[in-house]
Structure 1
Amino acid sequence: MKAILIDDEEHARNLLALFLHKIGGVTIVGQAGNARDALACMRERLPDVVFLDIEMPEVNGLELAETINGEFADVHLVFVTAYDRYAIAAFEQEALDYILKPLEMKRLERTVARVRKELEKGAPIAAPASAASDGDAAPKLHIRLFGGFEATDGSGRRFKMRTSKEKELLAYLAAHADSRPHRDVILEQLWPEEHHQKAKVYLHTCVSYLRKNLKALGTGPIVLFEDQRYFLDVDRVAIDWLLFRRKLEAIRRQKTPAPDEIEDVLALCGGPLFGDSDYMWAEGMAEECDQETAHLLLSLAKAYWDRGEAEQAAQTAERLCSQDPYNEEAHRCWIASLQKLGRHQEAVRVYRKLEQTLRQELQLEPSGITKRLLQGNSRTP
């Protein structure tokens, strides 16, 4: 088996290397005294097992283990430490074993035998997520947030999660795929009522479930951890919300986007963001998305109007009015388009319905520009 030793004390690494050499069957392919060098060595050498100290400067072993678990799905972790108080936290990181210093040969022999037994089960060591290429055979995970949360693999198989919090965590990471939220922010958003330490245990448990279930699905490493931040590998996961945001930004950079470009963005919205999920942290995002979608629909209606395509403008404006019955600008576009099509009675009915809605529900009157449009004194929506 290939092993990497990580400890900030060189003599501790040398002693461990000596013991492993005496046990036999272990090839030490690298050593490191800090997290940065350790990850660089792992990405180059792809070990089977990592012997990892816990108390190290800057990034401790437990934090480094979170990163390793995300990036190297099949590497086994063995903690080697002088302190037994970290045992529970170590096994939260899915450590295969936990050895106390000073080292004892017989205890280390049992650990090596345990690692060898795991390796003999036949699971190949996966390359890190950063090494994945366009031709990677691992299927992507497809996450849908519009119209309700759903996750499937490349062949359409649904991704099954054992707890509601596991599902919520994946939804949260997908919704924030372009921002890499800090671990403490995730704790505050998903477990606001829990003590920080207890919430951390819940988070680690959910991450562990996700990684195990994703591994069974065959998607490769997707849930990553770096600099105290959890995030999804966007090269391995397709998210409709993320694609919507990127296309929306591209539209905003254009002075006069074509209708088909706006339609392309709107086609991603297969229903309200998050559907009927009641996630507290999602409420603001859903409201903002509704506003952005309404703005897109209005832009689309006006784009059709500017091109002289009154029928398409009327249909688009009607679609927006059904979502937002108080939107006067959308109603003006609808009315103007109907008038241009010669459907004057229908235009009057649209105006009367708007007038009734504003009076009964908001105690307001239509604006002067809307009234003038109906009277034929204005030719633009």
Structure 2
Amino acid sequence: MIRAIVVDDEKPAIDALRDLLHDYSDIELVGQFTNPHQALSRIGDLDYEIAFLDIEMPGINGLELGERLLEADPSTDIIYITAFDAYAVEAFEISALDYLMKPVSPRRMKKTMERLRTRQASAQAAPDPPLADRPRRVLCFGQFDIALEAQDGEGDSRIAWRTAKARELLAYLVQHRGKLVRKSQIWEAIWPGLEISRAVVYLHTCIYQIRKSLKQCRLEKQIRIRFVQDGYQLTLHDIDSDVDAFLRGTSFVDGSEAPDWEALERAERLYGDGYLTVEDFLWALEVRRELEMRYIETVKRLAERDEALGRDASAIRRWNALIRVDPYNEDGHERLLLLYAKVGDRSALARHYQRMTEQMQDELGLDPRPAAAELYRRLLSSMD
């Protein structure tokens, strides 16, 4: 038996839907509400698997109500009901099990029931996804993803996102983890320039998809998204992010403690190519730059330590890594010149100075500062 609730502010519409459902012996209507607030107050007492929701309701519309229901139980199937055949229909079809146009015809209801039974049968027959119960980490360096340990202990599994925008929205909420993010902020960041009515639909659609994906991968308890005060708040529980690990490892930048060299080396490896560098997310630029500055300071400290310990090859590698991120770091360039001279690599010394000069002239229209030019000539002369 499939248990259902219906929420519609028009009593005749509920009666009409109930009459249609009477033709299906495997559907039991366990709750019917004309007030969406009342429905919310009762969801904890009802055992249901599917919700028929009217879209246009006062106070809480069907889209928002659907979010609240999915927040309580992401496995709930939603069927939207609308009197308006508009642009939103396509989005509803993507995000929900189905949509119904008022007045609902018996033929259209039959199609919905067939879709529901197919979904229920697939859910019962499908084995658990090959994902471990212990997710490894939320990944934000390089490309956004969620890595999960495979059940056989070999390699990682990743979430298969239904749409790129759902994945981007989750990345945006992860960036603001622990904070309330208003819907207006999300629209401006994810769908800039789009009319609000369409942005609303796409936002609800993506939230629906995210909840479903997290539920499927058994991540709904580790990555929680709450609807709060006309916005969303994401929190992480018993799951780490590479950014949080990087921030902990580089806490010395905030002046809170002395460098932990092992932690710095781990942070250096975590950073990789940088924060969301594979993505074209304009909203990520500010955080990307902040993390980049921490990375530069981290690599600088590690390179200086390498030099102090006489690990010249490691110092050269790290100063080169720093310059790839911060190409106009004059201190880094000069330290490299000194190191190439120290190890007696005249050709590397000459190549580096030439690259530095060409880059500054091509991109800034400037020559290296006199002190750097003088250092180069002195070092080159000392190697003759």
Q: TM-score range by the shorter chain?
A: 0.5 to 0.7
Q: Which residue of 2 aligns with 1:185?
A: 185
Q: Which residue of 2 aligns with 1:84?
A: 83
Q: Which residue of 2 aligns with 1:259?
A: 261
Q: Structure 1 CA distance, aligned partners of 2:29 and 2:60? A: 26
Q: Which residue of 2 aligns with 1:68?
A: 69
1:320 aligned counterpart, secondary structure = helix
Identical positions, percent: 22
Q: Structure 2 CA distance, aligned partners of 1:209 and 1:56? A: 23
Superposition map of 1:59-138 within 5 A: 59-77=60-78, 84-85=83-84, 91=92, 94=96, 117=117, 121=121, 123=123, 138=133
Q: Structure 2 CA distance, aligned partners of 1:39 and 1:331? A: 62
CA distances 1:104-143 after superposition (whole Å, capped 9, x unpaired): 9x99x9899779847863747xxxxxxxxxxx96564865
Q: Structure 2 CA distance, aligned partners of 1:26 and 1:194? A: 40
Q: Work out whether residues 141 and 219 of structure 1, in 8 Å CA contact, stay in contact via their aligned partners in 2.
A: no
Cα RMSD, aligned residues only: 5.4
| Displacement after TM superposition at 1:269 (Å) | 2.0
Unaligned runs of 5+ in 2: 125-130, 151-155, 380-384
Q: Work out whether residues 84 and 101 of structure 2, in 8 Å CA contact, stay in contact via their aligned partners in 1.
A: no
Q: TM-score, normalized by length of structure 2?
A: 0.63
| Displacement after TM superposition at 1:177 (Å) | 0.4
**Structure 1 residues 169 and 26: CA distance shift in structure 2, 3 A:** closer
Q: Work out whether residues 138 and 219 of structure 1, in 8 Å CA contact, stay in contact via their aligned partners in 2.
A: yes
Q: Structure 2 CA distance, aligned partners of 1:323 and 1:178? A: 22
Q: Work out whether residues 322 and 332 of structure 2, in 8 Å CA contact, stay in contact via their aligned partners in 1.
A: yes
Q: Which residue of 2 aligns with 1:298?
A: 300
Q: Work out whether residues 250 and 263 of structure 2, in 8 Å CA contact, stay in contact via their aligned partners in 1.
A: no
Q: Structure 1 CA distance, aligned partners of 2:239 and 2:85? A: 34
Residue identity opposite 2:141 in structure 1: F
| Displacement after TM superposition at 1:265 (Å) | 1.0
Q: Which residue of 2 aligns with 1:366?
A: 369
Q: Structure 1 CA distance, aligned partners of 2:111 and 2:123? A: 18
1:267 aligned counterpart, secondary structure = helix
**Structure 1 residues 31 and 137: CA distance shift in structure 2, 3 A:** farther
**Structure 1 residues 84 and 301: CA distance shift in structure 2, 3 A:** same
Q: Structure 2 CA distance, aligned partners of 1:269 and 1:49? A: 43
| Displacement after TM superposition at 1:170 (Å) | 0.9
Q: Structure 2 CA distance, aligned partners of 1:42 and 1:54? A: 18
1:121 aligned counterpart, secondary structure = helix
Corresponding position: 1:147 with 2:142:
yes
Q: Which residue of 1 aligns with 2:197?
A: 197
**Structure 1 residues 79 and 324: CA distance shift in structure 2, 3 A:** closer
Residue identity opposite 2:192 in structure 1: P
**Structure 1 residues 357 and 32: CA distance shift in structure 2, 3 A:** same
Residue identity opposite 1:198 in structure 2: R
| Displacement after TM superposition at 1:320 (Å) | 1.7
1:77 aligned counterpart, secondary structure = strand
Q: Work out whether residues 49 and 77 of structure 1, in 8 Å CA contact, stay in contact via their aligned partners in 2.
A: yes
Q: Which residue of 1 aligns with 2:127?
A: none
**More displaced stretch, 61-70 vs 139-148:** 139-148
**Structure 1 residues 183 and 346: CA distance shift in structure 2, 3 A:** farther
Superposition map of 1:196-345 within 5 A: 196-208=196-208, 214=213, 218-221=217-220, 224=225, 226-227=227-228, 228-229=230-231, 234-235=236-237, 239-245=241-247, 247-249=249-251, 252=254, 254-304=256-306, 308=309, 311=312, 312-334=314-336, 343=343
Q: Structure 1 CA distance, aligned partners of 2:295 and 2:165? A: 24
CA distances 1:290-328 after superposition (whole Å, capped 9, x unpaired): 3332222113223455x6455354542243234434212
Q: Work out whether residues 187 and 199 of structure 1, in 8 Å CA contact, stay in contact via their aligned partners in 2.
A: yes
**Structure 1 residues 42 and 236: CA distance shift in structure 2, 3 A:** farther
Q: Structure 2 CA distance, aligned partners of 1:349 and 1:374? A: 11
Q: Work out whether residues 51 and 79 of structure 1, in 8 Å CA contact, stay in contact via their aligned partners in 2.
A: yes
- The aligned length equals 352
Q: Structure 2 CA distance, aligned partners of 1:253 and 1:374? A: 38
Q: Work out whether residues 135 and 239 of structure 2, in 8 Å CA contact, stay in contact via their aligned partners in 1.
A: yes
Corresponding position: 1:174 with 2:171:
yes
Q: Work out whether residues 141 and 275 of structure 2, in 8 Å CA contact, stay in contact via their aligned partners in 1.
A: yes
Residue identity opposite 2:303 in structure 1: A
Q: Structure 2 CA distance, aligned partners of 1:253 and 1:30? A: 58
| Displacement after TM superposition at 1:352 (Å) | 5.0
| Displacement after TM superposition at 1:268 (Å) | 0.8
